[in-house]
């Protein structure tokens, strides 16, 4: 690949060296003498559980955080990075897990941020278009971010980094928001970029993914580097062992499909359509029955209407046409936890009290609720100092365990879980999936959506795929689901 | 947790002192007799029983009503900046009803006048609430516009349909004693409205923290989407309730002015209480009990500033400058803390 900007001389075949990095946040030692050596022209996967220090290490490499101790070398030269602008000027680029784009502005405008002097948007757009063609990252520079799907937004983020002449890209959980075909596309691009001399640091939870694409793998646990090795020398079980530090095999802790005992029909959509605020039909004539004791896997790409289907089933969206027959008590685990499930500034007890708050009358029984919250934390392994802790002080995994516990504790007849393990580490993922399976065993009908069909298949008793607003039941088989996802028969 | 809360109030106190000191510094630079101005400020606010009970507390009373109105709305994420208009609507209704029922005994007439004020204030805010829920009109704009409409409506009423019988002065006839709020202390101007406002502040605090409806209000303000999705809270219902309650509190403030202080409706009955209310509520960080303190502080500042203008020739708008600086200081500090805390 041809790079614009000032020419550079290759002075080392090592792109990034992080040496003995320490970092402390208050009481928490996030990194203890962590080191990372990334060879030029390779994909280097950084693995670890939530809170292992992956993102912290990357932020230090990108100049966003100062290290307490240790040193950073870029291209073999000692680098004191005061800000991400420093890192960018040395040829680094980073794509964050949560995108940093302004929704109301166009792709070109977003990419032009960080420039100096006169802004000629037409020139920027032309350059972006050229860059997009050359790299195969298809994006319309004049499209507003809000109108782009998640995959396209990610391409804009990558183009933004390349626009700044990045030769070393840090991608933080890039596939967390992507559908399988989108992930494949991203990986194909990464392979080309690396083949042309670029370097990629890939932060991920997904072990298979790391093995599939990485040349080298580094594993962090509790802020320490546990292992660095060529991917070719590793297999899944050794990775699981290194990541969790467990004797037990983490993946086998994830429950498998059981023999379902199908009970009564607890929820039913009958020729239901959902029409959004702009008058677009998102779900057309959906008919679906949910039986006690079974797990229905739901798949669908972004924009297919899958989220509307889940909200119809959860009673959070009223049908535009048709009838929805739903049980009075429904547990709902929404995808966007911090927006739809918890109030971060509220205490856990208050977040617990949210359930049923719409119909509650009279006084709030706070002391009873605090005790109930403490019981819930105990039963569902929610690690927080007390029920009076603010939700925002909990890690993502603990927040999710809290939400799942709150929604499942009263044994609702129907449970709707929307991407419930997104962004969770292996341990928390296994915990949440076990809870869903246990809930079905206890007689709930469970509707489980995941963007990752490999999460669905082991658990689902039936599979439903949403494509372009139509809902279809398919066999619980990888090929059948994959075909239905893209509308192939 | 308590330590964190205490730190925030300590910071507020320090901010108050620093800003008052800085403004006095400015007075010295500006060539004013600063010691004399400071003495006048103090004496005007707290220097005598007259200052406390007939100046500071009298000004604090409407500020407390409207401060509560704004604080309650903001807690629910309703940006009601129309307390001024709601106060005027309440004052107008209280005057109209008060004049009509003057023949009734006080125990009947006074509640009727005050109730009319609350209903009118709620209805005035309800217009903005309806516009928001029906058409998505931002309440920041609608409530502000309704302030102007209310002000001009009062101007017209006191020159037209509601003008006093001699048709000389642009005001209504004076209310009969049966619709006067009783004085709290004999010989002083502070009236029963202050007690009512303090009781409402305590009630507002209790409702917000101890009842289901208060919890809904806080949840909608802190995270509307989670309140709706996880709590099954109907946002429009809670929002409508908050508009009405907030407007009723402000309207009651207007009714309390008419029945407790002015005994008649005229133009300029409110020197911008509804706008100061935003500062009162924000300085108290929307906490109903703290609003009692910040309303008293602002009442003292305004009473003191009036004295300062009389005695030391310092423009009384200085009080507004101090109020604005206080709020900016506290907001900036909280923001900086919030950023560091993450």
Give the span between the Cα atoms of B76 and B204, in whole angstroms. 13
Give residue B126's Cα distance to chain centre. 18
Beta bridge partners of A283: A274
Using an 8 Å Cβ cutoff, are A319 and A266 in contact? Answer: no
Find which of B232, B233, B239 to mutate to test the A interface (most A CBs within 10 Å of its CB).
Answer: B232
Please list every residue in chain B whose beta carbon sits closer than 8 Å to the beta carbon of residue A369: none
A12 pLDDT above the threshold of 70: no
Q: Which long-range contacts (CB under 8 A, 24 or more apart) does A145-149 make?
A: A145/A101, A145/A102, A145/A103, A145/A104, A145/A105, A145/A106, A145/A107, A145/A110, A146/A103, A146/A104, A148/A107, A149/A302, A149/A303
Average the pLDDT over A398-426 and give the result: 91
Q: How far is B13 from chain A (nearest CA, A)?
A: 24
- pLDDT for B4: 53
Nearest residue, CB atoms, A354 vs list B1, B214, B219: B219
Beta bridge partners of A22: A69
pLDDT confidence tier of residue A488, bands split at 50, 70 and 90: low
Report the range of poorest mean pLDDT among A127-131, A313-317, A445-449, B11-15. Answer: B11-15
Question: Strands A470-474 and A330-333: what pairing?
Answer: unpaired
Give the burial string for A74-101 (b: 16+ CB within 10 Å, else e): bbeeebebeebeebbebbbbbbbeebeb
> A13: which residues sit within 8 A by CB, 6+ positions away?
A39, A40, A41
Which strand (E) or helix (H) includes residue A290?
A: strand A281-291
In chain A, what is the straight-line distance between the N-terminal and C-terminal CA atoms, in Å?
A: 39
- pLDDT for B340: 46
Average the pLDDT over B22-35 and give the result: 82
Q: Is A363 within 8 Å of B212 when comparing Cβ atoms?
A: yes
B267 pLDDT above the threshold of 50: yes
Nearest residue, CB atoms, B219 vs list A343, A366, A406: A343
pLDDT confidence tier of residue A7, bands split at 50, 70 and 90: very low
A489 pLDDT above the threshold of 60: no
A176 pLDDT above the threshold of 90: no
pLDDT confidence tier of residue A8, bands split at 50, 70 and 90: very low
Average the pLDDT over A25-48 and give the result: 87
Using an 8 Å Cβ cutoff, are A15 and A77 in contact? Answer: no
Q: What is the ipTM of this complex?
A: 0.88
Q: Is B223 within 8 Å of A360 when comparing Cβ atoms?
A: no
Q: Is A343 within 8 Å of B233 when comparing Cβ atoms?
A: no
Length of chain B: 342
Q: Is A332 within 8 Å of B229 when comparing Cβ atoms?
A: yes
- The burial class, CB within 10 Å (0-12 / 13-18 / 19+), for A150 is middle
Average the pLDDT over A113-140 and give the result: 82
Q: Is A357 within 8 Å of B211 when comparing Cβ atoms?
A: no
- pLDDT for A336: 87
Average the pLDDT over A301-321 and give the result: 89
- pLDDT for A258: 66
Which strand (E) or helix (H) includes residue A346?
A: none
Give the span between the Cα atoms of A60 and A47, in whole angstroms. 16
Whole-model pTM above 0.80?
no
- pLDDT for A247: 44
Give the span between the Cα atoms of A223 and A22, in whole angstroms. 9
Average the pLDDT over A96-124 and give the result: 82
B93-142 tens-digit pLDDT: 999 999 999 899 999 999 999 999 999 999 999 999 999 999 999 999 99
Give the span between the Cα atoms of A55 and A430, in whole angstroms. 22
Give the span between the Cα atoms of A90 and A101, in whole angstroms. 22
B30-56 tens-digit pLDDT: 888 888 888 898 999 999 999 999 999
Question: Could you tell me where the DSSP H helices lie in A231-389?
Answer: 236-244, 306-313, 337-340, 348-353, 366-379
Find which of B207, B212, B241 to mutate to test the A interface (most A CBs within 10 Å of its CB).
Answer: B212
Give the span between the Cα atoms of A17 and A72, in whole angstroms. 6
Q: Which long-range contacts (CB under 8 A, 24 or more apart) does A57-61 make?
A: A57/A18, A57/A21, A57/A31, A57/A220, A58/A94, A58/A170, A58/A172, A58/A201, A58/A203, A60/A18, A60/A21, A60/A23, A60/A31, A61/A16, A61/A18, A61/A36, A61/A87, A61/A92, A61/A170, A61/A201
Give the span between the Cα atoms of A402 and A379, in whole angstroms. 10
Nearest residue, CB atoms, B229 vs list A340, A346, A362: A340
Give the burial string for B176-207 (b: 16+ CB within 10 Å, else e): bebbbbeebeeebbbbbbbebbbebbeebbeb
- pLDDT for A100: 83
Using an 8 Å Cβ cutoff, are B260 and B279 in contact? Answer: no
**Phi/psi of residue A477, each to 5°?**
-140, 145
Residue of B nearest to A336 (CA): B226
- pLDDT for A60: 92
Q: Is B230 within 8 Å of A364 when comparing Cβ atoms?
A: no
* Interface contact A369, partner B, CB < 8 A: no
Q: Is A343 within 8 Å of B232 when comparing Cβ atoms?
A: no
- pLDDT for B223: 93
**What percent of chain B shows pLDDT beyond 70?**
96
Give the span between the Cα atoms of B84 and B90, in whole angstroms. 10
A3 pLDDT above the threshold of 50: no
A415 pLDDT above the threshold of 80: yes
Indicate the angle between helix axes A236-244 and A426-441, nearest 10 degrees.
100
A217-240 tens-digit pLDDT: 999 888 888 888 888 888 887 887
Q: How far is B76 from chain A (nearest CA, A)?
A: 13
Give the span between the Cα atoms of B146 and B137, in whole angstroms. 13
Q: Is A354 within 8 Å of B225 when comparing Cβ atoms?
A: no
pLDDT confidence tier of residue B337, bands split at 50, 70 and 90: low
pLDDT: which is higher, A135 or A20: A20
Please list every residue in chain B whose beta carbon sits closer than 8 Å to the beta carbon of residue A403: 230
Using an 8 Å Cβ cutoff, are A304 and A264 in contact? Answer: no
A254 pLDDT above the threshold of 70: no
Residue of A nearest to B238 (CA): A358
* Interface contact A360, partner B, CB < 8 A: yes
Please list every residue in chain B whose beta carbon sits closer than 8 Å to the beta carbon of residue A360: 212, 215
Give the span between the Cα atoms of B188 and B194, in whole angstroms. 13
Indicate the angle between helix axes B57-75 and B273-283, nearest 10 degrees.
70
pLDDT confidence tier of residue A125, bands split at 50, 70 and 90: confident
């Amino acid at each position: 690949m041809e790079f614009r900007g000032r020419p550079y001389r290759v002075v080392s075949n090592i792109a990034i060296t992080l040496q003995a990095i320490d970092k402390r946040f208050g009481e928490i030692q996030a990194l203890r003498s962590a080191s990372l050596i990334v060879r030029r022209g390779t994909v280097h996967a950084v693995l670890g559980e939530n809170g292992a220090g992956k993102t912290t290490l990357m932020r230090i490499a990108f100049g966003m955080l100062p290290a307490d101790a240790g040193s950073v070398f870029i291209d073999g030269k000692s680098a004191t990075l005061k800000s991400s602008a420093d890192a960018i000027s040395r040829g680094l680029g980073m794509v964050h897990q949560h995108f940093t784009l302004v929704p109301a502005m166009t792709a070109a405008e977003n990419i032009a941020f960080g420039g100096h002097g006169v802004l000629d948007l037409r020139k920027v757009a032309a350059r972006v278009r050229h860059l997009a063609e050359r790299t195969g990252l298809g994006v319309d520079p004049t499209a507003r971010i809000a109108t782009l799907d998640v995959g396209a937004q990610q391409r804009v983020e990558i183009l933004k980094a390349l626009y700044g002449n990045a030769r070393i890209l840090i991608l933080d959980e890039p596939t967390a928001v992507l559908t399988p075909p989108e992930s494949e596309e991203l990986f194909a691009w990464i392979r080309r970029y690396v083949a042309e001399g670029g370097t990629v640091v890939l932060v991920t939870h997904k072990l298979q993914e790391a093995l599939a694409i990485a040349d080298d793998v580094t594993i962090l646990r509790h802020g320490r580097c546990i292992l660095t090795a060529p991917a070719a020398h590793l297999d899944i079980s050794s990775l699981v062992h290194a990541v969790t530090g467990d004797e037990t095999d983490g993946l086998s802790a994830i429950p498998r499909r059981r023999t379902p005992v199908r009970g009564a029909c607890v929820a039913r959509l009958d020729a239901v359509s959902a029409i959004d605020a702009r008058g677009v039909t998102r779900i057309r004539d959906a008919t679906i029955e949910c039986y006690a004791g079974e797990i229905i896997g739901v798949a669908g790409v972004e924009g297919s209407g899958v989220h509307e289907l889940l909200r119809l089933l959860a009673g959070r969206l009223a049908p535009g046409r048709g009838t929805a027959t739903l049980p009075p008590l429904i547990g709902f685990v929404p995808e966007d936890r911090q927006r739809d499930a918890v109030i971060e500034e509220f205490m856990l007890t208050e977040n617990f009290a949210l359930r049923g708050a719409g119909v509650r009358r009279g006084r709030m029984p706070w002391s009873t609720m605090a005790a109930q919250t403490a019981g819930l934390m105990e039963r569902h392994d929610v690690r927080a100092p007390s029920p009076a802790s603010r939700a925002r002080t909990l890690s993502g995994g603990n927040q999710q365990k809290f939400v799942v516990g709150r929604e499942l504790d009263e044994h609702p007849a129907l449970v709707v879980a929307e991407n419930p393990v997104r962004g969770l580490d292996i341990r928390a993922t296994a915990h949440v999936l076990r809870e869903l399976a246990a809930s079905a065993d206890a007689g709930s009908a469970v509707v489980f959506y995941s963007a990752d069909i490999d999460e669905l298949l082991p658990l689902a008793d039936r599979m439903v795929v949403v494509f372009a607003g139509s809902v279809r039941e398919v066999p619980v088989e990888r090929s059948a689901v994959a075909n239905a996802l893209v509308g192939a028969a | 947790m308590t330590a964190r809360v205490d730190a925030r109030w300590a910071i507020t106190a320090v901010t108050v002192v620093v800003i008052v000191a800085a403004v006095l510094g400015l007075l010295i630079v500006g060539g004013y007799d600063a010691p004399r101005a400071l003495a006048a400020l103090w004496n005007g606010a707290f220097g005598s029983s007259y200052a406390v009970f007939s100046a500071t507390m009298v000004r604090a009373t409407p500020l407390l009503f409207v401060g509560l109105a704004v604080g309650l709305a903001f807690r629910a994420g309703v940006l009601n900046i129309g307390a001024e208009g709601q106060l005027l609507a309440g004052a107008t209704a209280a005057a109209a009803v008060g004049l009509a029922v003057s023949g009734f005994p006080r125990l009947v007439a006074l509640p009727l006048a005050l109730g009319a004020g609350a209903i009118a204030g709620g209805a005035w805010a309800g217009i903005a609430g309806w516009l928001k829920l029906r058409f998505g009109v931002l309440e920041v704009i609608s409530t502000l516009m309704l302030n102007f409409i209310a002000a001009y409506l009062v101007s017209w009423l006191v020159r037209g349909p509601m003008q006093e019988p001699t048709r000389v002065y642009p005001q209504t006839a004076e209310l009969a004693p049966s619709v006067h709020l009783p004085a709290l202390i004999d010989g002083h101007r502070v009236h029963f409205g202050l007690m009512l406002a303090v009781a409402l502040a305590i009630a507002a605090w209790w409702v917000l923290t101890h009842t289901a409806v208060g919890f809904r209000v806080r949840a909608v303000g802190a995270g509307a989407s989670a309140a709706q999705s996880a709590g099954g809270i109907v946002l429009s219902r809670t929002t409508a309730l908050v508009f009405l309650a907030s407007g009723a509190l402000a309207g009651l403030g207007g009714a309390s002015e008419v029945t407790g202080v002015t005994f008649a409706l005229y133009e300029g009955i409110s020197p911008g209480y509804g706008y100061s209310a935003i500062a009162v509520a924000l300085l108290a960080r929307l906490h109903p009990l703290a609003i009692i303190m910040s309303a008293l502080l602002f009442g003292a500042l305004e009473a003191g500033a009036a004295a300062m203008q009389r005695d030391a020739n310092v423009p009384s708008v200085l009080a507004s400058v101090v109020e604005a600086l206080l709020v900016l200081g506290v907001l900036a500090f909280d923001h900086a803390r919030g950023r560091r805390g993450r």
